[in-house]
Structure 1
Amino acid sequence: MGKLSVAVVGLCAALSASAQETPAEFTRQVPLSVSGNGPWYRLELPLAVQLNAAQADLSDMRVFNAAGEPQAYALSRQSSQRTESRTVTEVKWFPLYAADTRETLPGVVMKTTTEGTLVEIKPSTAAKPGKQVLRGWVLDASAIKAPLQQLSLDWSLEQEGFQRFSIEASDDLQHWQAWDDGQVARLSFADERVEQHDVSLPGQSARYLRLVWQGQAAPLLTSAKLVSATSSSLPMPLMWSQPLAGTRLQAGEYSWQLPTGLGVERLRIEMKQPNTLAPVTLAGRNDARQTWQSLSNGLLYRLSQNGQDVVQDQLQLPGQVVRELKMQVDERGGGLGAEAPALRFAVRATQLVFLARGEPPFTLAFGNASVKAANLPLTTLIPDSSAEHLKTLGQATLAGEVAVTSPAAVAAVESGPSWKKLGLWAVLLLGVAALGAMAYSLLRKPPAAR
């Protein structure tokens, strides 16, 4: 009986070892090239990999060496793991004048205190009375030490329409760095007032901001606020998709089906026709059996102003995993047309870090809906996982295209692990039955025979 027990246990152990995951169990396999210092390597997963993963949370990601042995790895999604503290600060503003709306800003003299606080701005030459136009504003952000994330402006109620301006940053009031263009708006629309006050900033620090209106006089500001944020790590960059065709459900209602469940953080709606104005609400869900959940709302527009297009075509989303999107358009603004507009979505990049063991070449494998997550926390994989240390890790890149096998091969691969499980359970049950039969035969023998 002892020999039989040992044999059964040994056979079960062997079958368990043979049931270890292999590259063949995944429908997609892409070779990796590595460079730099190991043994840890980091790979930024392209959007094509995320779209072809069998599981929305990327639980089916694996890395294998040349012998087909799995490597220890971690997934870094810094955008969801970082701790962030946001602060809203009301700042002072100072006017900038020029002779007209097209003239380059004249030289100015700016006075600051010893702490760097701005107290006065005046032209370097005497201004000509009656010929000065308000061209922009300088905001004093010297008291804010954290990176600037958002600008919020309010202005005189009498000045309606779109306000388009450039945003520049400086630490010394002499050298200015272009950041981006900003757009705010106040519109009367169908007996309602539609307002847009916020402008996204690039998340960098600056002591001063200069806002210069383009081709028009600047409005009289009544409020200027800056949102700053400190975080434990910088977010991974956004990756934008190719245009995705949609479906028109009914008048003013459109839907889009994503390739898989994705944590979408931003959308860009295509507006082909000039002079389009569309207040919209956006909803999403991850399954057709679920109810729609509100995700975002905003004002989309493409309008001609001073000979150029003023465009706001993006919506910001909370990053919730969705597979289907639905947009409702208030058609009092004219709608978006009979055809569903094309949509681009952006998801946060994900970094895979693995510990190289065994011989290269290494292979990234994915595409198995039944496997469980095997990734470790980054702090477990790398004892010193500080941002400085992560920058020194070796680099891994895809050395081939993301190939998709035929449906027949996919079905064959996905059925493989199930046969292994059935075989293992069969052997276990046979072993238990054999042990029971031997125990029963021993109990039936007479005492003398025992």
Structure 2
Amino acid sequence: MMKSRIGWLLGLLISVQAFGQEFAFEAPIAAVSDSGYYRIALSPELMGQAQIDLSDVRVYDHTGEEQAYLIRQESAVSTQSLFKEYEIIDKAYKEDAISHLIFSNPDKRPIDNVSFLVKNTEVKKRARLSGSDDQENWYVIKDNYLLHAMQSQEETSEMKMLNFPLSDYAYFKLEINDNWRLPINILKVGYYDRQRVKGLTTSFDCPIAWQKDTLKISSIKVIFPQPMYMEQLEFSLSGEDYYLRSASVKAKRNGIDRKKNPYEYFESLASFELNSNSENVVAFNGTVVQELLIEIDNRDNHPLKVESIKASFLSKYVVCELLPQMKYDLKLGNQSLRKPDYDLKAFASQIPNDIPRADHGAMVDIRPAEDPAVVSGFWGNKYLVWFVIAIVGFGLTYISLKMVKEIGGRA
């Protein structure tokens, strides 16, 4: 009797949990040609149906095996150091003599350092740097350089930097004293240029349903066919050459009042200014919306015409190892899931940022067709479902304790 009770409770618990672990959507990942790690760019539609922290996103292969992954996001601005080569126009290596290397600075860019890539060597040499605008008259810039420690433990060549007084000659000549020694092998000469690079964004057009201009306020309604994720809006306007207007953007939300009745309201996302001298971009915390309301305060001015609105966000990726012979799907839409805890996160720094990109296909709703009678009954009430889970849990605990007590009494 006791075993049958436990079996019944376990069966009910498993069925209830299975109900709560279903995914609502899936999207196929495009096939890849080579094995390795890929960054799968997430669409605004997919992110519009996932949890805001993407905790419910999972990757499965066609056998149903869950795959470990990382979430990565573009940075708003990053700094990159790019090596830019100078053209070497003359290079002469002479054993037991003075070797030289001449490189051009065609834009006469003022520089105070130069880097050169040299094949590994374990020698010390003296060098001199001079400059010229015609390659005939040379003027010394810095003398008596000591070149040493020109070797790398990881590569067969080493990058060395020479610092010198700021100069803007069209040509520079590096002379190296190779008396009584073989010359060193210089492969490249150049400089590191630090550049600020904007992160890649995913952008899409906002469908404008209507614009109404009344009582000095212009109201613009945007309605998407499905929830979309966004982090900023960019406006294109016409009507006046010069304008400076206060504006706000709000998102339509659904709420439940104290009497459990549903209602709608608009949540403010940002207040901003529209300025004819600016790009008219407004940023806000990442959010999911299906309907937007933009209001522009015209004061005593003629209304502006909103020609288009573009939404965007810093691109986000699922980073995962993919095989060319395997099919994969992204699955999402399960509010009960937490962020997965994979070993892969401990090795995130070992996966480069410039791995190949893969895309996913259209998102498909995989929820079973809903029976209105069922939806309005037991399974349609998530609070009742979790209440039953709690009752089953307490029941199992009670039965287990009772069995332990009975076994102890028999002993």
Q: TM-score, normalised by structure 2?
A: 0.52
Matching of residue 396 in structure 1 with residue 337 in structure 2:
no
Q: Which residue of 2 aligns with 1:318?
A: 283
Matching of residue 374 in structure 1 with residue 371 in structure 2:
no
Q: What's the secondary structure of 1:283's corresponding residue? A: strand
Q: In structure 2, do the counterparts of structure 1 residues 334 and 364 end up closer, same or farther at CA, with 3 Å as the change threshold?
A: same
**C-alpha contact 1:253 1:328 (8 A) present in aligned 2:** yes
Q: Which residue of 1 aligns with 2:58?
A: 62
Q: 1:115 aligns with which of 110, 119, 144?
A: 110
**C-alpha contact 1:19 1:420 (8 A) present in aligned 2:** no
How does 1:230-309 map onto structure 2 within 5 Å?
230=196, 235-246=199-210, 248=212, 250-251=214-215, 252-256=217-221, 259=224, 260=227, 262-271=229-238, 275=240, 277-285=242-250, 287=253, 292=268, 294-300=270-276
Distance 1:325 1:56 in 2: 21
Q: Which moved more, 1:360-369 or 1:320-329?
A: 320-329
How does 1:89-238 map onto structure 2 within 5 Å?
115=110, 230=196, 235-238=199-202
Report how far residue 8 of structure 1 moved.
7.3
Report how far residue 43 of structure 1 moved.
0.9
Q: Compare CA radii of gyration and give the structure with the larger one.
A: 2
Q: What's the secondary structure of 1:35's corresponding residue? A: coil
Q: Which residue of 1 aligns with 2:95?
A: none
**C-alpha contact 2:250 2:267 (8 A) present in aligned 1:** yes
Identity %: 14
Distance 1:416 1:28 in 2: 19
Distance 1:375 1:294 in 2: 35
Distance 2:16 2:66 in 1: 13
Q: 1:40 aligns with which of 13, 37, 41?
A: 37
Q: In structure 2, do the counterparts of structure 1 residues 74 and 114 end up closer, same or farther at CA, with 3 Å as the change threshold?
A: closer
**C-alpha contact 1:65 1:359 (8 A) present in aligned 2:** no
**C-alpha contact 1:246 1:341 (8 A) present in aligned 2:** no
Q: In structure 2, do the counterparts of structure 1 residues 344 and 83 end up closer, same or farther at CA, with 3 Å as the change threshold?
A: closer
Distance 1:294 1:31 in 2: 35
**C-alpha contact 1:26 1:366 (8 A) present in aligned 2:** yes
Report how far residue 425 of structure 1 moved.
4.3
Report how far residue 434 of structure 1 moved.
1.7
Q: 2:70 aligns with which of 71, 74, 77?
A: 74
Q: In structure 2, do the counterparts of structure 1 residues 396 and 285 end up closer, same or farther at CA, with 3 Å as the change threshold?
A: same
Q: In structure 2, do the counterparts of structure 1 residues 243 and 424 end up closer, same or farther at CA, with 3 Å as the change threshold?
A: closer
Residue type of the partner of 1:428? G
Report how far residue 334 of structure 1 moved.
1.4
**C-alpha contact 1:73 1:375 (8 A) present in aligned 2:** no
Report how far residue 42 of structure 1 moved.
1.7
**C-alpha contact 2:235 2:281 (8 A) present in aligned 1:** no
Q: In structure 2, do the counterparts of structure 1 residues 380 and 332 end up closer, same or farther at CA, with 3 Å as the change threshold?
A: farther
More strand by share: 2
Q: Which moved more, 1:365-374 or 1:282-291?
A: 282-291
Q: 1:385 aligns with which of 341, 347, 351?
A: 351
Q: Which residue of 2 aligns with 1:343?
A: 309
Distance 1:284 1:407 in 2: 36
Q: What's the secondary structure of 1:34's corresponding residue? A: coil
Report how far residue 243 of structure 1 moved.
2.9
Q: Which runs of 5+ in 2 are unaligned?
A: 81-105, 113-168, 171-191, 254-263
Q: 1:352 aligns with which of 318, 333, 336?
A: 318
RMSD across aligned positions (CA): 5.1
Q: TM-score, normalised by structure 1?
A: 0.48
Cα displacement string for residues 227-277 of structure 1 (whole angstroms, at most 9, x for unaligned residues): x9647xx51234122433255384323244565474423312354xx5565
Residue type of the partner of 1:33? A
Q: Which residue of 2 aligns with 1:132?
A: none
Q: What's the secondary structure of 1:74's corresponding residue? A: strand
Q: In structure 2, do the counterparts of structure 1 residues 405 and 435 end up closer, same or farther at CA, with 3 Å as the change threshold?
A: closer
Aligned residue pairs total: 286
Distance 1:397 1:66 in 2: 17
Q: Which runs of 5+ in 1 are unaligned?
A: 86-110, 118-171, 174-205, 208-227, 302-311
Cα displacement string for residues 12-50 of structure 1 (whole angstroms, at most 9, x for unaligned residues): 79978995899x822222222231443422211233323
Distance 2:344 2:223 in 1: 29
Q: In structure 2, do the counterparts of structure 1 residues 326 and 84 end up closer, same or farther at CA, with 3 Å as the change threshold?
A: farther
Q: What's the secondary structure of 1:351's corresponding residue? A: strand
Distance 2:52 2:387 in 1: 27
Distance 2:237 2:342 in 1: 40
Report how far residue 72 of structure 1 moved.
1.6
Q: In structure 2, do the counterparts of structure 1 residues 409 and 315 end up closer, same or farther at CA, with 3 Å as the change threshold?
A: farther
